Amino acid sequence: MTSEKAKPEGMGFPRVHLGHEEVDAFLDSCLRGRVPALLFTGPAGAGKEYTAVDFARRLCCTRDPKCRLEGDLCESCRSALSLEHPGIHLAYPTPSQGTGEKEGDDEADIGKILEEKRQDVFSVPAFSKKVSVRIARARAVIRRANSKPFGSPYNVFIFANAHAMREEAQNALLKLVEEPPAHCVLILITPNPDTILPTIRSRCQRVRFSQLSDEVVKALLVDHYGFSGEAAGVAASHARGDIRRAREIAADFDDEGRQQVFDVVANIGSAPESWVVEKALSISRSTNRDSAARFLDDLAVAYRDVMAGDETLFINRDKARILKAEASEANRKNLPRIVDRIIGTRDGILRRNLNIEAALVDLLLDIKHLR
């Protein structure tokens, strides 16, 4: 079985419209007056950090009217999108440096994160140790916020993953959130606003993001990451609006394995048992434990679609014809048992070292009999 990988080109900061119409309208209004402290909330992978950087770009833009993202950009806007603007400051959780931490201890790690983000703004920093935003970083922000911006009309501070900010760091920022200097803008980003202290949360204007549409996710995967339309479409339908998760799915896209899944769903009812056995053997010969688990994950999702029975609820909407046919013919009372059986086989292959060939033969025969 083969997997498709992304092309290396097209990374960085894509110039796309994410479809957050209400968010965009509110932020447009902020450009015409004083900007309150902002709290961006909503599901992971919805483009909150992307939107924060683009809003900061527009605040700092030197042109009137402001540069449009999809148009010709001024030098200020270009430096903003390359995450090198002197007035736009991004703070990320980083591993602790131990006792006696002081300002600047996290700068090397933040620099590494920014290098990753310059390659792909949607990337997720990974550290082996627990991360947090500490009071030393909060104090550095306060000091910079109370100084005149250098080469920019604003100092914009973006706290990505603000839920990882320690309580003492949040308390240190309270006065800045309450009474920011006229040239200072604060943006806190988190999928879970309840992790932010009420004293901070109540003083921020909350900006709620919804998940990205499948169409936006697919376009990003094709145009920004270079995946094929088929891989992008499947990943977008599975990712529930999370561009990061969609990229992982697309990178692991197995077109041959998916064809095998829907060949099983389409034929298992009408085909003789000999076909079912041969199909299981054929799959087992071209797989290992990891790829067998992916096949079974996809088969479980397909049968959850069959359980749903409603095309508007399908994850695999491109296979609606096959799924609706199976939904109309299968014994609906047994469909939960089929899904449980698939998941049990997957776990047995990965965790209990079941023989792949025997496990798949038994599973597909059971599905045939249960349906």
Residue 159: which H helix or E strand, with range? strand 155-159
Q: Which run of H or E residues covers position 94? A: strand 94-95
Q: Are residues 224 and 275 in the same domain?
A: no
First to last CA, the chain: 27
- Report which secondary-structure segment, H or E, holds 95: strand 94-95
Smallest CA-to-CA distance from 77 within 141, 32, 15 is with 15
My answer on whether 96 and 156 are in the same domain is: yes
CATH number assigned to the domain comprising residue 89: 3.40.50.300
Number of domains in the chain: 3
The answer on 221 and 199 residing in a single domain is no
Pairing of strands 205-208, 38-41: parallel
Query: What CATH number corresponds to the domain at position 324?
Result: 1.20.272.10
From first to last of its 371 residues, what are the pLDDT tens digits of the chain?
334 444 433 358 999 899 999 999 999 999 988 899 999 999 999 999 999 999 999 999 989 899 999 889 999 999 999 999 999 999 999 998 766 777 878 899 999 999 999 999 999 888 888 999 999 999 999 999 999 988 899 999 999 999 999 999 999 999 999 999 999 999 999 999 999 999 999 999 999 999 999 999 999 999 999 998 888 988 888 888 999 989 988 888 877 888 899 999 999 999 999 999 999 999 998 888 888 888 998 899 999 999 998 888 888 888 899 999 999 999 999 999 999 999 999 999 988 889 999 999 999 999 999 98
Claim to verify: residue 199 and residue 309 sit in the same structural domain: no
Within-domain flag for 10? no
Residue range(s) defining the domain that contains residue 229: 216-251
Gyration radius (Cα) of the chain, Å? 25
Q: Are residues 338 and 284 in the same domain?
A: yes
- Cα 11 to Cα 83: distance, rounded to the nearest angstrom: 13
- Domain assignment of residue 9, yes or no: no
Residue 15: inside a domain, yes or no? Answer: no
Residue 176 located in a structural domain: yes
Q: CA 200, 91, 55, 211 torsion: positive or negative?
A: negative
